């Protein structure tokens, strides 16, 4: 009887150790290639993210490896724009929010849909920051995170 218990415990230990090694190797092999390349369209220009945060699920969602950082993309001068022009294109499945400042003061912070309704054309230097966020969807196992433009 002692021999059977010892064999069962050894098998449980071996299976646990094997699963742990497999999880460790999977974690170590996960790299930045799991972060999707997400671009947005703004006023006729394609923008690359300048910063990102992304959680990539591993082993069917049992573990999540987080990545964050900045990219080599520089901020872009969109030139002179006419308001209330809302020329935006966002990837499907992402929620977008805009933060517009005029001469350092907040001018708008909200969704793309309400953006043109709240702005009045005033001359000045504007800075537009766009955040695209992917929220977890039970059917979509590709990860969650946000991208800043």
pLDDT attached to residue 67: 94
Distances (CA, A) of 17 to 21, 58, 82: 6, 18, 62
pLDDT of residue 86: 63
- DSSP label of 54: E
Strand order in the sheet with 144-148: 63-70, 51-58, 144-148, 126-134, 94-102, 105-111
User: Of 68, 32, 25, which Cα lies nearest the Cα of 50?
Assistant: 68
Mean pLDDT, contiguous 10-residue spans, the chain (149 residues):
90 93 92 90 86 91 90 73 71 88 83 70 77 79 88
Q: Which pLDDT value is given to residue 14?
A: 94
Task: Tell me what pLDDT residue 88 has.
Answer: 84
**Measured distance CA(66)–CA(31) in Å, rounded:** 10
**Is this structure's pTM higher than 0.95?**
no
């Amino acid at each position: 009887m002692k021999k059977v218990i010892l064999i069962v415990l050894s098998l449980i230990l071996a299976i646990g150790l094997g699963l742990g090694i497999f999880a460790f190797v999977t974690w170590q092999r996960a790299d930045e290639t799991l972060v999707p390349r997400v671009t947005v369209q703004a006023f006729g220009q394609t923008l690359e993210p300048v910063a990102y945060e992304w959680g990539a699920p591993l082993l069917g969602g049992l573990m999540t490896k987080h990545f964050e950082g900045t990219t080599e993309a520089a901020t872009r001068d969109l030139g002179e724009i006419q308001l209330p022009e809302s020329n935006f294109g966002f990837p499907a499945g992402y929620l977008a929010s805009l933060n517009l400042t005029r001469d350092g003061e907040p001018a708008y912070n909200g969704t793309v849909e309400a953006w043109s309704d709240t702005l009045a054309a005033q001359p000045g230097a504007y800075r537009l920051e766009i955040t695209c966020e992917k929220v977890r969807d039970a059917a979509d196992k590709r990860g969650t995170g946000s991208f800043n433009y």
